[in-house]
Structure 1
Amino acid sequence: MTQPTPSDARRRGALIEGVAADWLSAKGLALVARNQHAKGGELDLVMRDGETLVFVEVRHRASHRFGTPAETITASKQRRLTQAARFYLHRNGLSCPCRFDVLAVSGTPPRLEFEWIVGAFEAN
């Protein structure tokens, strides 16, 4: 079996993030931004849930053979996401309620399963 190239992985990631954004939009969230690069990390999706700004980390695994997608959100990853979110808020002059969600996506297109973890972690 050949290893996917980085461009294949990026393309697959962009596809999954697009499907994730559409799925969350169908659940009532509004897309604000995708792939926001900020100090220390990248914010996959920035969405609005009413007055709340939601930073969504999208994690994908084709199978659970090596664990679920949600299990890949380590304490270190949470710190990087928190730092990136603070930078995003500062850069855009925003002061609003925020939360961190995780959308764990399993399977391969077109058969995908979604686990939406609202308020997956607190800013530290």
Structure 2
Amino acid sequence: MANTDNQGQIAEYKARQYLEQQGLSFVEQNVRYRFGEIDIVMKDGKDWVFVEVKYRSPSRYGGAVNALSSAQTQRIRKAASHYIQINRIDAICRFDVIAADPNGIQWIRDAF
């Protein structure tokens, strides 16, 4: 399990680097509440972007893109809603997914 945790951390770091190269600015990482977690918080201009990073080895069926369940998206939405409230954010927000595997990164804007 520690190996997959480490791969996940590496994937998050690479995702952050990738998004910064695309012009987004980093705000915060690994925001945890008891009911949910946000992997990365970025800003795209004035818009806030909540990023879920999914890492999968290529042998896993469906790859990283298909790894998000509806329960997970609900937890992420709940965490983001709480984050927006406590930080008094009044701006457009969206949810992106970074799907990472050893072959590269796929960025899905407005994923859910």
Which SS does the other structure have where 2:11 is aligned? helix
Distance across 1 between alignment mates of 2:60 and 2:89: 40
Hey, what does 1:116 align to over in structure 2? Answer: 107
Other-structure match for 1:58: 53
Structure 2 runs not aligned, ≥5 long? none
- Partners of 2:70 and 2:51 in 1: how far apart? 16
Query: What amino acid is the match of 1:97?
Result: I
**Percent identity of the aligned residues?**
34
Number of residue pairs aligned between Structure 1 and Structure 2:
112
Shift of residue 64, structure 1, vs aligned partner: 4.5
Shift of 1:30: 0.5
The root-mean-square deviation of aligned C-alpha atoms, in Å, is: 1.3
The alpha carbon displacement at 1:66 in A equals 1.5
- Deviation, structure 1 residue 14: 1.4
Per-residue Cα deviation, 1:62-109 (whole angstroms, up to 9, x for no partner): 1144211010111111111100000111121212110000010111xx
1:46 paired to 2:41: yes
Q: Which runs of 4+ in 1 moved over 3 A?
A: none
* Residue 65 of structure 2: aligned partner: 70
> 2:16 maps to which residue?
21
- Structure 1 unaligned runs (5+)? none
Output the TM-score relative to the length of structure 1.
0.84
TM, length-normalised to structure 2: 0.92
- The structure with the largest alpha-carbon Rg is 1
